[in-house]
Amino acid sequence: MTASAVRFQAAFTPIVHRLAVLLTIAVFPLIWVGGLVTTYDAGMAVPDWPGTYGWNMFAYPISTWLFGPFDLLVEHSHRLLGSLAGFFSIGLAMAAWKYEERSWFRWWCIGILLAVVAQGALGGARVLLDQRTFAMLHGCTGPLFFALAAATATMSSRWWVEGAAVDIRNSGGTKGRLRWLSGLILIASYGQLVLGAQLRHVTGAVSHQTFLIFVHSHFTLAAVVLLLAILQGLIGSFSGRLPTRVAHPTKWLVGIVFLQVALGIGTWIVNYALPWQELNGWLAKYVIVSKGYWESMIVTAHMATGSLIISLATVVTFRAWRAAKVSNAAN
């Protein structure tokens, strides 16, 4: 049996794929703004939910939203972006239910809708109960939803449904190590994100000993993710021609892991100062600006890039598995 002769069970449905891509694109700024909510400690800038200061969320005056307090801008924007993701999820579920031939994928899309509802409810619980623990859980499940959205976009793509076989035929196939490795990166980077959420949502009740354990764990796992990414880059480079749709995100993933390490160092500096500030006068002069623009952007970018790594690792893992499956079926 040749690769091109592999039997596929469904036809490509553009509307489902477009909605899945839109959803994925919409979730990234949602995560960014959610990160800003944590960075600026703006989680309780709006005390009610799902309304905003008694208004229907969508009817809240634009003037106060955009030109009022910054914390309110960030929190309300996060809610509106969340609603947008919710609308895309509804559209996706409806389109999948109507047009999608794969029954499991229809249910998957229903699952996406339920997940977005659960994520919104968790955010609401954070506000109504005023619990940072829920904020932390919300912060941990947000990137999971981003990864699910990316997986949905991947599995609804033309490549997944029709094109994988062609891609594989034109390449040297995919190496088993790569899919396992990207899966490992996915798990490790999610662990990193959970540890990072512990650091970002810390309360005054946490002891310095516990916090130190989290910091050391975060550093150790960062080294693991970096090593895995380097290994993946090497395998990707030296294992012959990978399917294009696997090779490209792999390169991006490796590059973004390096960017994340740089952002992590930056986050340390803007939170805890330079490690060797006494080396010279220029370093010694540095004063951290509490809630300064660059300080906040670096910390938030570190969080958002963590989510991006998880989503990219999901895409690579799913595509590598798909390619391997098609390749095996072809052989």
Partner 1 sequence: MHSYRAVLIAAHRLMQPELNQHHSATLGRSNTTTTRMFTRVVYSLCAACLVCGCDAPLASFSSNLLVANRLERQTGLDLSEQTEAVDQLLEHLFGTPESPRWPKCLESDVRTKSLISLDYLAQAAGPVRSDQADQHFGLFREHCVFCHGLSGSGTGPTSSLLNPYPRDFRPGVFKFKTTGSGVKPTKADLRNTLVRGIPGTSMPTFSLLKSEELEILTDYVVYLAIRGEAERRLLTELALDMDLTDGQPFWKPDWESTRPADYLAGLELAEQITQKIALAWAQPESQDNLVLSESDGIQLTNASRELDPGAVARGRALFNGKIAACSSCHGTEGKGDGAVRNFDFWTKDWTDGLDPDDREAIRPLRKLGALKTRPISPRNLQLGVFRGGSDPEDIYLRIVNGIDGTPMPAAALKPINPQGLSENDVQDLVSFVLSLSQNTSLGGNP
Instruction: Note the residues at the interface with partner 1 (CB under 8 A).
Output: 41-45, 47, 53, 64, 68-72, 130-133, 136-137, 140, 194, 197-198, 201-212, 215, 271-274, 277-278, 280-281, 283-292
Shortest distance, position 253 Cβ to partner 1, whole Å: 25
Q: Is 319 exposed, middle or buried (0-12, 13-18, 19+ CB in 10 A)?
A: buried
Rounded CA gap, 153 and 23, in Å?
Answer: 8
Give CA–CA dist 110/17, Å, rounded: 15
User: Rounded distance, CA 43 to CA 124, Å?
Assistant: 10
Q: d(Cα 155, Cα 306) in Å, to the nearest integer?
A: 22
The nearer residue to partner 1, 38 or 182, going by C-beta atoms, is 38
Residue 300 C-beta-side C-alpha neighbours within 13 Å: 22
| Smaller CB separation from partner 1, 24 or 38 | 38
Shortest Cβ distance from residue 318 to partner 1 (Å)? 25
At a CB cut-off of 8 Å and minimum separation 6, what does 171 contact?
A: 240, 241, 242, 243, 244, 247
In 100-175, which residue ranges form alpha helices assigned H by DSSP? 103-129, 132-155, 158, 164-169
Contacts 24+ apart (CB under 8 A), 215-221: 218/192, 221/188, 221/191, 221/192, 221/195
- CB nearer to partner 1: give 138 or 322: 138
User: CB 124 → partner 1: shortest distance, Å?
Assistant: 16
Q: Smaller CB distance to partner 1: residue 265 or 283? A: 283
Is the CB of 280 or the CB of 331 nearer to partner 1? Answer: 280
257 neighbors 226 (Cβ within 8 angstroms): yes
- What gap in Å lies between CA 129 and CA 150, rounded to an integer? 31
Q: How far is the CB of 75 from partner 1 (least distance, A)?
A: 9
SS3 52: strand
C-beta closer to partner 1: residue 281 or 331: 281
Q: Is the dihedral of CA 211, 214, 219, 220 positive or negative?
A: positive
Residue (136 or 148) nearer to partner 1, CB: 136
Q: Min. distance of Cβ 92 from partner 1 in angstroms?
A: 27
Residue 56 C-beta: closest distance to partner 1, Å: 16
- Compute the least distance from the CB of residue 130 to partner 1, in Å: 6
Closest CB to partner 1 among 62 and 204?
204
| Whether 240 contacts 210, CB under 8 Å | no
Which CA distances in Å does 183 have to 133, 186, 311?
A: 28, 5, 11
Q: Closest distance between partner 1 and the C-beta of residue 202, in Å?
A: 5
